[in-house]
A and B are shown apart, each in its own frame.
Chain A
Amino acid sequence: MAAPTLSFLYNKSGSDVAYGGTGAADANFGVITAGSDTLVFTGGGIDDTVLTTPTCASGTRSATIRPSVTSYVIPYTYVESTIMNHCDLVGHNANRYTMAVYVNGSMSSDLFLESWDDNSFSTTALPILQGSTNSSDESYINAIRTTSAAPPWAPGWDGGDTGAAYLKGTDDRVALKNASSITDEAVYYNVYIKLETDSVTFHNTPILGFRYTYT
């Protein structure tokens, strides 16, 4: 069969409901245009007032201040295109339908969410992926499968939970359906970045990638 087509989607409505389309935007989900849109984690800095919602101007950033007392979750997630669209359901919470991938066609494996240094999909040397002593050398990027259930919240999920990972290459990744095949359906995940007090100062642009097989 031909390679399946993937559509990357984000919840833009603030309503924690499932995606109802087949790859295009619907009432609750917008499309992340591959190759031009960017997923931006920002805020927790001295310029947070510029981070307006539901949108703000493209290029707006508020660099996160490294925490001095305890770990800190970068508070705002946007999808940046010609403007920045706030994803207020995404993050360290129990929301289920926050980010989605619609699979148009069939794949002969699960769909694995991974993070790499760049689009060569070959190294994971960036500080955000290497982590630090306080993160037990785990990546700072926490992601969890929410296709079949909402993430746990007591007191909150992290990459160590069932169906979750501290994203780093193929060693630490999330199987988005936990099945051996996917056909014509949407799968879901939630994601956040947590900085540690011993984090180095960085501006990293890792990529999120989706790995699968087909015949």
Chain B
Amino acid sequence: MVQDLKTYGIYNTVTTVDPYDCRFLAGYPDGRMIRGKNFIDTGWDDIPQGLAALRYSLSTGHIITILKFRAYLPLIEVSLGIDGSKMFHSINVKCLADKEVLVYSIILKQTPDSKLKIGDVVISKEGLPTEFGKSWKYTDRGFSWR
């Protein structure tokens, strides 16, 4: 069921994804696909290396396919208010290319005035990281979604 959530602030109303119904979809060369749990406990660190394709499924029905790179590191950007509020802003998928890192930022919230809507992707560049932790997942070229 396609679903979004509303946050009613004193001044603004924001539409967000349901983080409990968003996940990654990791494909492997042998045809396996591992589904992430949700955006609270993603399960990303538990999946094996060598994935061949990466997609994100949002509760709003959006499916975002990330182009194939050498490795991925997805970072969920969230805010927690002292008032107990919680807001999921974006998931920033760092994608390792040969000489740089491209960051695919998938938007997870929108206001009526937002230029960027849920499911939009903003791409930016970063330099190569100085170290690669275990959360980086390397790819195996040669797989494609069928």
Contact = CB atoms under 8 A, between A and B. Distances in A.
Interface of A: 1-3, 6, 8, 32, 34-39, 108-109, 114, 117-123, 125, 205, 207-215
Interface stretch (B10-18, B48-56, B120-128): B10-18
Best-surrounded residue of A1, A8, A37, A122 (most CB of chain B within 10 A): A122
Given A2-B42, A211-B77, A211-B79, 10 more contacts: A3-B41, A34-B80, A37-B82, A108-B75, A117-B10, A119-B87, A121-B85, A209-B80, A211-B78, A214-B78
Contact of B135 (A108, A109, A117, A120): A108
A210 B79 contact: yes
Contacts of B81: 34, 119, 121, 207-210
B74 A215 contact: yes
Contacts of B34: none
A118 B79 contact: no
Contacts of B80: 6, 34, 209-210, 212
Given A35-B84, A118-B12, A125-B11, A213 B45 contact: no
Interface of B: 7, 9-14, 40-42, 44-45, 73-85, 87, 89, 92, 109, 111, 114, 135
Contact of A122 (B14, B74, B77): B14
B78 A213 contact: yes
Given A109-B75, A213-B76, A120 B111 contact: yes
A142 B76 CA distance: 28
Contacts of A215: 42, 44-45, 73-76, 135
B135 A1 contact: yes
Given A119-B81, A207-B81, A1 B14 contact: no
Contacts of A109: 75
Best-surrounded residue of B40, B73, B76, B82 (most CB of chain A within 10 A): B82
Given A120-B14, A125-B11, A215-B44, A207 B85 contact: yes
Contact of A36 (B9, B11, B75, B84): B84
B76 to A, nearest CB: 6
Contact of A1 (B9, B45, B83, B92): B45
B125 to A, nearest CB: 18
10 contacts: A3-B41, A3-B78, A34-B80, A34-B84, A120-B11, A120-B12, A120-B111, A121-B81, A209-B82, A210-B81
Nearest to B110: A122
B90 to A, nearest CB: 9
A35 B84 CA distance: 4
A207 B77 contact: no
Nearest to B46: A1
A107 to B, nearest CB: 9
B111 A122 contact: yes
Contacts of B12: 117-118, 120, 122-123
A209 B79 CA distance: 6
A37 B83 CA distance: 7
Contacts of A35: 83-84
A164 B9 CA distance: 27
B83 to A, nearest CB: 5
Contacts of B9: 117-120, 122
